[in-house]
Amino acid sequence: MKRVQYEHSPIPYLFVAPQIIIIVIFFLWPAAQAIYQSFLLEDAFGLSSQFVWFRNYSDTIFSGAWLQAAGFTIIFSTLVTFLSLGLALLLAVKANEVIQGASTYKTLLMWAYAIAPPVAGLMGNLMFNPLIGDLYGFMNAVGFDFDHKLDPVDASFVVILISVWKQVSVNFIFFLSGLQGIPKSVNEAAMMDCNSSTRRFWTITFPLLAPTTFFLMVINITYAFFETFGIIDTTTQGAPGGATTTLVFKVFQDGFRGADIGGSSAQSVVLMVMVLALTVIQFRFIEKKVHY
Amino acid sequence: MNRSSITTHLILICGALFMTLPVWVAFATSTHAPETILREGLQILPGGHFFETYNEVLFVEGGVMKKVTATQMLKNSLILGVGFAVGKVVISMLAAYAIVYFRFRLAVPLFWIIFMTLLLPLEVRIIPSYEVVANMGLLDTYTGLIVPLIASATGTFFFRQFFRSVPDELLEAARLDGATSWGFFIDILVPLSKTMIAAILIIMFVVGWNQYLWPLIMTTKEENYTLVIGIKQIYQVLNEGGELPQFQKAFALTILATLPPVLVVLVFQNWFVKGLVESEK
Amino acid sequence: MSGVTLKSVRKTYPNGAEAIRGVDMDIKSGEMIVFVGPSGCGKSTLLRMVAGLESITSGEISIGERVINDVSPSERDVAMVFQNYALYPHMSVRGNMSYGLKNRKMNKTEIDKRVNDAAKMLKIDAFLDRQPNQLSGGQRQRVAMGRAIVRNPQVFLFDEPLSNLDAKLRVQMRIEIKKLQRRMDVTSIYVTHDQTEAMTLADRLAVINEGMVEQMGAPMELYSDPKTLFVASFIGAPQINLIPVTYDGKTLNNGDLKLAGFTNLPENTDLVLGVRPDVLTHNTAGQFGLRVDLVEQHGGENLVYGALKGAKNEDGDELEICLKGGKEMLPSLDESLQLSFDPATAFVFRKDTGERLI
């Protein structure tokens, strides 16, 4: 808080009003609706609805399709997070080491941030297109019986590859800035104390990057949950047989394509709870960070 | 050059190729004739059909879709990107100013309301959001497209953080200099935030341009498509009966959808990186 | 010009902490008052209450005849120089100096005239179109002063304005501030924790401790006639030597140390003897001995530090005292010096209340 503030007056209300009004209309109200609708069951024609307590929840959550999507989402998020973080960390450490061409590397490694996930998805999809895609041909040429239209593992591979590709740049930016934020004197002190650069990295640099890493994990999980919608929608669309359907994609599928408003809302609420949990973890962590 | 530094460069070159090659291939392929692509697959070198392809995609009706050209989609994307960025900066600066610099009764509850928006990504409340916008008759309008996206609190938190780092003495000096609350905001705070505003504008332009799910569900008419959602319609082009699949157009469209945000990020790289990193502190 | 009056001024924070605990003060027109005290004593808070940047819990502050408790800062007719200068970083020097005048809707020619005059007086007229980040620390300091001067206020307020400057510049600016204040004859309040700055600048200085004024008076008055142990120890450099003692009716005692020449003191009470380093003299027939630990040569004078023989401090360790002598006084390490002083030049305080007895 500021030491000195302007005292009570109607002015601050005018300043926050635009944001609050938009939030109430387009956030709070729809969110409340989602919760309310998650307790309703509509009849087949969508003409009347009836309050069914938690039936939508039990129906969705215990359905095989939802569990399959949940399972895929967890595996998918974990892989995307670790692969993109690992790759980005490697590149950031190397980019932080070089002197020659440092800014060129930096630019080339970060620019993909600006590409929209669905655009990346479409590009990837075209590269894997059996008619022209050299990647498709390559995968088969090196001995895989590759067909992402039919094989769940191959389909997951495509989606994960594109998702990782799209996320490396943002992780790279944060890791590089985290590395540059480590005082030079700390690195110099470490050089005098420890001769092995690998050991220096794991005992000094990596622990100092821990706050960045943790923050990025949260960002990446959120990304894998929500923003990869665009990638999935432009590549596999959840196929084959729901093998690449994430929870968010399923909300969209059931709500818009399947018109199952109650079930889709119940899924939304479950997702909200997940985001909430993630935020709580993040904030507990930030509190800790403030202490040291 | 010693061996470890060669390895370092090698790793970085591989990384750079991994990040750039797909987009380059997409561009190179888009400049070839459909027959070449179908016969030889993806292309690594540019071909001779650059003007033909891009002219058809950008300016010829029916070039990519039934009646809309990519120019129209480009325009929609620009309006979404710029409108989103500007709207977000204005609204969040005002709110952050009120929260940081004023003492008022509802400050805490209002802060929490704004904070809550971080917990509710659009994706989890997509259907009721759609209904609200539909009931207000805002489907297929720029207002309906942009305004619901503006409300999220990221910008507000960013400016709140920045305002808190502004020395208290500036407000005190301004008050002794007789500045009103609006005067302090306009004369001191906004000019001081110039760099931050630029950084946020850049980031938000990219975020706005890249919106997918929301424009997808709330635009029903072709002429309101943005490039990012327009690309999905390209599947139609690929599968038009009787003709050769128009892969070069699909690639051209992805390049067009990529180019403006990439240019913005590259031109303003330093501001962009600073803004991105600062905003998460 | 007008003076400033504080009547039973108090400041209590919402959490119950008392920052200012009843201050009465009468500052005459044109006077330069320095608030001095350790950090956290409330001196800055008091200044900010005069400026209107902190609210007043109770009591009354007036400038001239006007009570200003509820007057907004910009209407109090005061100008302030901040510790970190608080220059508007995006405005030129001219912009910084004229901003307050523009807000007061002054006409442009008058603004220009005032800015130019002040800039000339402060020798910053060559930098008027520069940005603050193109200026050196000393120049920024002058701009901050200029911003205050152009307002032509009833009262100048200075909040540790020199603490961000290096030592040499600080002395130079100190002299300039004093000259400027003399010439403009504006009532000024100056906050500092630096006792040299306080002594040299003040017409009168107020020693503040824990939210109260311990003593207020001319610098030399506070030096030679401190009312409390706190004032005696805060004013004067090097610091006064403080020796815990008790009185047995005849002498002041600490261990083997016995000092005669004191009368009328309470017995069986913890007392503190205060002896300024410059009243101690080296004398073969001295009353007590000193084992030399360190000699600091300051050029014109030397400071000798050493342990007082036979005496212990409160923790039972050696009692370190300081003696000021000429540049020829150069005892070697561990040498014993015999010292004496005139009891009339020493102070005796009660240890519990800090009240001065002699």
Domains assigned to chain C: 4-228 (3.40.50.300), 238-350 (2.40.50.140)
Question: First and final CA of chain B: distance in angstroms?
Answer: 38
Q: Which among B15, B119, B132 has CB closest to A30?
A: B132
Q: Which residues of C touch B174 (CB under 8 A)?
A: 88, 99
Q: How many C-beta neighbours within 10 Å does residue A247 have?
A: 24
Identify the residue with better confidence: B121 or A90: A90
Using pLDDT thresholds of 50, 70 and 90, give the confidence band for residue A42: low
Residue A240 preceded by cis peptide, ω within 30: yes
- Write down the domain spans for chain B: 67-278
**Domains in chain A and their CATH numbers?**
64-291 (1.10.3720.10)
Using pLDDT thresholds of 50, 70 and 90, give the confidence band for residue C1: low
Q: What is the pLDDT of residue C20?
A: 94
Per-residue pLDDT for A176 more than 80? yes
Q: Is C171 on the interface with A (CB under 8 A)?
A: no
Interface B–C counts its CB contacts (< 8 A) at 62
Q: What is the pLDDT of residue A242?
A: 82
Interface A–B counts its CB contacts (< 8 A) at 288
Per-residue pLDDT for A48 more than 70? no
Using pLDDT thresholds of 50, 70 and 90, give the confidence band for residue A257: confident
Do A108 and B19 make contact, defined as CB atoms within 8 angstroms?
yes
Beta bridge partners of C213: C208
Q: What is the pLDDT of residue B239?
A: 61
Under DSSP, is residue B122 helix (H, G, I), strand (E, B) or coil?
helix
Closest CA to A85 of A223, A182, A181: A223
Q: What is the pLDDT of residue A74?
A: 92
Using pLDDT thresholds of 50, 70 and 90, give the confidence band for residue C61: very high
Residue in C44, C82, C152 to test binding to B, most B beta-carbons within 10 Å = C82
Q: What's the whole-number mean pLDDT along residues C93-105?
A: 91
> For the segment C172-227, what is each residue's pLDDT rounded down to a tens digit?
999 999 998 998 899 999 999 998 899 999 999 999 999 999 999 999 999 999 99
> For the segment C16-57, what is each residue's pLDDT rounded down to a tens digit?
889 999 999 999 999 999 999 998 899 999 999 999 888 899
Q: What is the pLDDT of residue A290?
A: 39
Q: Which residues of B touch A233 (CB under 8 A)?
A: 212, 216, 232
Q: Which residues of A touch C53 (CB under 8 A)?
A: 3-4
Q: What's the whole-number mean pLDDT along residues C299-326?
A: 87
Closest CA to B95 of B185, B32, B14, B199: B185
Per-residue pLDDT of chain B (281 residues; tens, 9 = 90+): 577 788 889 999 999 999 999 999 989 988 998 888 888 888 888 888 888 888 888 887 776 777 778 888 899 999 999 999 999 999 999 999 998 888 888 888 888 888 877 767 777 777 788 888 888 888 888 988 898 888 778 888 888 888 988 888 899 999 888 888 889 999 999 999 998 899 889 999 999 999 998 898 888 888 888 888 888 777 666 665 556 778 888 888 889 999 999 999 999 888 888 888 876 55
Under DSSP, is residue B178 helix (H, G, I), strand (E, B) or coil?
coil
Q: What's the whole-number mean pLDDT along residues C290-303?
A: 90
Q: Which residues of C touch A5 (CB under 8 A)?
A: none
A220 Cβ contact partners less than 8 Å away, ≥ 6 residues apart: A77, A80, A81, A84, A85, A167, A171
Angle (nearest 5°) at CA C324 between C285 and C233: 110
Per-residue pLDDT for C67 more than 80? yes
Asked whether C252 and C271 are in contact (CB, 8 A), the reply is yes
Q: How close does chain A come to C222, measured CA to CA in Å?
A: 34
Q: What is the pLDDT of residue C223?
A: 93
Architecture of domain B67-278: Orthogonal Bundle (1.10)
Residue of C nearest to B178 (CA): C74
Percent of chain C with pLDDT over 90: 56
Per-residue pLDDT for A291 more than 50? no
Residue of B nearest to A108 (CA): B16
Per-residue pLDDT for A283 more than 50? yes
Mean per-residue pLDDT over chain C, rounded: 90
Of A66-75, A185-194, B211-220, C245-254, least confident by mean pLDDT is A185-194
Q: Is C53 on the interface with A (CB under 8 A)?
A: yes
Q: How close does chain B come to C198, measured CA to CA in Å?
A: 23
Q: How close does chain A come to B225, measured CA to CA in Å?
A: 14
Report pTM: 0.83
Q: Which residues of A touch C54 (CB under 8 A)?
A: 4
Of A200-204, A283-287, B146-150, least confident by mean pLDDT is A283-287
Interface A–C counts its CB contacts (< 8 A) at 3
Q: How close does chain A come to B106, measured CA to CA in Å?
A: 9
Q: Which residues of B touch A37 (CB under 8 A)?
A: 127-128
Identify the residue with better confidence: A44 or C110: C110
Q: How close does chain A come to B177, measured CA to CA in Å?
A: 15
Q: What's the whole-number mean pLDDT along residues A132-154?
A: 77
Q: What's the whole-number mean pLDDT along residues C257-262?
A: 86
Q: Which residues of C touch B170 (CB under 8 A)?
A: 86, 88
Residue of C nearest to A5 (CA): C53
Residue of A nearest to C49 (CA): A4
Asked whether C325 and C282 are in contact (CB, 8 A), the reply is yes
Using pLDDT thresholds of 50, 70 and 90, give the confidence band for residue A292: very low
3-state helix, strand, coil in chain B (%, to 5): 75, 0, 25
Q: How close does chain A come to B278, measured CA to CA in Å?
A: 10
Per-residue pLDDT for A97 more than 80? yes
C246 Cβ contact partners less than 8 Å away, ≥ 6 residues apart: C252, C253, C254, C267, C268, C269, C270, C271
Per-residue pLDDT for C105 more than 70? yes
